[in-house]
Amino acid sequence: MFSELVVAYLFLGGAGAGACVVLGLLECANIGRYGVLTARTRRAGNARSCGQGRSRSAGSSPAAAPRDPRPWHCRVSAPFAVPHELMSRAWPAALVLLGAGALCLAADLGRPERVLALYLAPHFSVMTVGAWALFGAMALATFFAVASNADFGALPLAAVLAAAVAAVAAGLVTAAYTGLLLSTLPSVLAFDTALVPVLFTLSSLSCGVAVVVAMASFVGSRHPFGHALRNLVRIDGVLILAEAASLAVFALWLASAPGTQAAAAGLTQGRLAVPFWMLLVAIGLIVPLMVERRYPAGDYRVKGLWIAACVLLGGAALRLCVTGLAAFDVTQMPELAFGLAAMN
């Protein structure tokens, strides 16, 4: 029912949207780099401008410590202070993912006028909202990719903050839209649950963190920012646990809801069992949790790449498994209904 291009679009668009959310939040935490840092300190990272902690006068007690002399943006961003080099690499990666997803969607639609119809449609629908959200996410990713890699001097902090917040919003809508689009299809009973958009959104956010961690593995100045990277993977651990819980509830719902028992059997025991158990559950959920417990201890690069590869593979497997449930729907294949009746 769903082509490979659709599955690729759901994965690439979701991963790119999740990266927009994560990077937009990091932009808010590191907002001062566009207005305070010079070109030289941008290339070196934020540490030289913001410093690495409070300075105390000699002989002063902790209770009488002086006020933190760093600017407000440095104090707020301390838990998620990342080097400028990381942002200059991660934003283009997010843009490539979004652009590749858009190309897959356009190739699946077949004709350019069908793509334009999504933006010119006079009526409100989930698809039109998702199309505009994808366009907005790509536009904002382009802005930050250019701003991070070109020296325009100081940028208005209010404008950068507004663009970062807009990137977070556009990314969230795009991430949720792919799942909402499936859940609004009345012809597939396995999609008729709010768990589908929840799963896709959590997976997209986790894939977004994976993109940032992967890019951090290629940044030479990543070592002084281990605290920020550790916080990111801790957040990803929470996202993975939430995704695993949602996936378990989704599988139980499939096994108990009317008309979806065949889909549940196909997912856990049938032809989708290998990608479900091996790629999604084992590699996409369990392995990242185990590796993230030791991150960033030891080799940053190897662990970061392992986390990113496993999370992204799990995200692709999730889209493959969920869309594959359509092949087991009794409304699409009536013979399945007779088979279930015979079993009962």
Give the separation between CA 139 and CA 247, rounded to whole angstroms.
Answer: 32
| pLDDT in the model for residue 315 | 97
170 burial type by CB count under 10 A (0-12 exposed, 13-18 middle, 19+ buried): buried
Which CATH fold topology does 4-49+75-343 show? Formate dehydrogenase/DMSO reductase fold (1.20.1630)
**pLDDT of 221 over the 80 cut:** no
Range 266-271 average pLDDT:
93
Please tell me the predicted confidence (pLDDT) of residue 309: 96
DSSP 8-state assignment for residue 252: H
- pLDDT given for residue 106 in this prediction: 85
Residue 162 has pLDDT above 60, yes or no: yes
Per-residue pLDDT band for 178 (boundaries 50, 70, 90) equals confident
**pLDDT for the residue numbered 53:** 39
By three-state DSSP, how is residue 209 classified? helix
Confirm if 272 and 321 have CB atoms less than 8 A apart: yes
Q: What is the pLDDT of residue 51?
A: 42
Closest alpha carbon to 267 in 258, 280, 282, 283: 280
For the segment 17-21, the average pLDDT, to the nearest whole number, is 97
Q: What local confidence, expressed as pLDDT, does residue 58 receive?
A: 38
Range 193-219 average pLDDT: 94
- Using DSSP's 3-state secondary structure scheme, residue 277 falls into helix
Is residue 51 within 8 Å of 180, Cβ to Cβ?
no
Question: What CA–CA distance (Å, rounded) separates 140 from 7?
Answer: 24
Cis peptide bond upstream of 83, omega within 30 = no
Answer whether residue 111 shows pLDDT above 90: no
> Which 3 state secondary structure label does DSSP give 210?
helix
Comparing 151-160, 200-209, 295-304, which segment has the lowest mean pLDDT? 295-304
Instruction: Name the more confident of 119 and 327.
Output: 327
Asked whether the beta carbons of 314 and 279 are under 8 A apart, the reply is yes
Task: Give mean pLDDT, residues 233-242.
Answer: 96
Per the model's pLDDT, the better-predicted residue between 25 and 107 turns out to be: 25
- Report the percentage of the chain scoring pLDDT > 70: 77
- Sequence-separated contacts (24+) of 253-262 with Cβ below 8 Å: 253/193, 253/195, 254/190, 254/325, 257/189, 257/193, 258/189, 259/189, 259/329, 259/330, 259/331, 259/337, 260/189, 260/190, 260/329, 261/340, 262/328, 262/329, 262/330, 262/336, 262/339, 262/340
The pLDDT tens digits of the residues spanning 29-85 come to 988 777 654 444 444 444 444 544 343 333 444 454 455 455 555 555 678 888 888
| pTM passes above 0.75 | yes
| Other C-beta atoms lying within 10 Å of the C-beta of residue 123 | 5
